[in-house]
Amino acid sequence: MLFDRLFGLLNYLSGYFFYTYAGLVHHTARWSYENTQFHEAVYAKRGRVIFTYWHEFYLAFLAYGYFMKGEDFTCIALGGPKGRGFRVIARLFGASMYLTKKGDKEVNRRAVAGVIKEMHELGKNTFIAVDGPNGPARQVKFGVAKVAEQAEGVILPIKLLVSGKIRIPRWDSQIVPLPFARIRVIYGEPVFGNQDRAEIVA
């Protein structure tokens, strides 16, 4: 019990740290963009955008997130001590959250349904690390296809290439962008939720 509390506290504090660090990177980085016509086309059409990225770019995506209005986003967050850090980050950005619970299919189903409902009815956006939360690295899971189909959303793949970084030796080879790094934001071609599942994950 004591260990769980300490673990939860560390995760809680880490949320503030990573949110602040992402802001530092955001404001000092030199940003460039490719394929901006895809981003513009998606936003000209409607909301309900699903930003997808590889888990290794998680911290870089947080820095990119400062460009967007957090209140326009909804997301799934892990409940319990392990997910406290991410929940702090999402709250600081202003995004709404639906909590999941490891091994509880009903709770997890309701969380996904909540995100889909906000996207469909309120036009909110979301973001998904398509190989997360625990890998294997760079293997797409079908959760993104389900959300896109049911929310009638559009998937916008995004890749963030960072020069000036540290790699953490873990399952996803996590990239930690350094202050004053160069970050190239590359948008992929949008994929609409009414396309075949095979097309969505291609």
From first to last of its 202 residues, the chain has per-residue pLDDT tens of 677 778 878 999 999 999 999 999 999 999 999 999 999 988 877 779 999 999 999 999 999 999 998 989 999 998 988 889 999 999 999 999 999 998 899 999 999 999 999 999 999 999 999 998 888 999 988 778 888 889 989 999 999 999 999 999 999 999 999 999 999 999 999 998 665 544 444 3
d(CA 26, CA 31): 9
Helix, strand, coil content of the chain in percent (nearest 5): 45, 25, 25
What's the pLDDT score for residue 1?
Answer: 67
What's the pLDDT score for residue 201?
Answer: 45
Q: How many CB atoms within 10 Å of residue 47? A: 14
What's the pLDDT score for residue 202?
Answer: 39
What's the pLDDT score for residue 134?
Answer: 82
What's the pLDDT score for residue 196?
Answer: 52
Closest by CA position to 57, among listed 159, 133, 132: 159
Asked if residue 153 lies in contact with residue 159, where contact means CB atoms within 8 angstroms, the answer is no
Closest by CA position to 160, among listed 36, 63, 90, 24: 63
Give the global pTM: 0.89
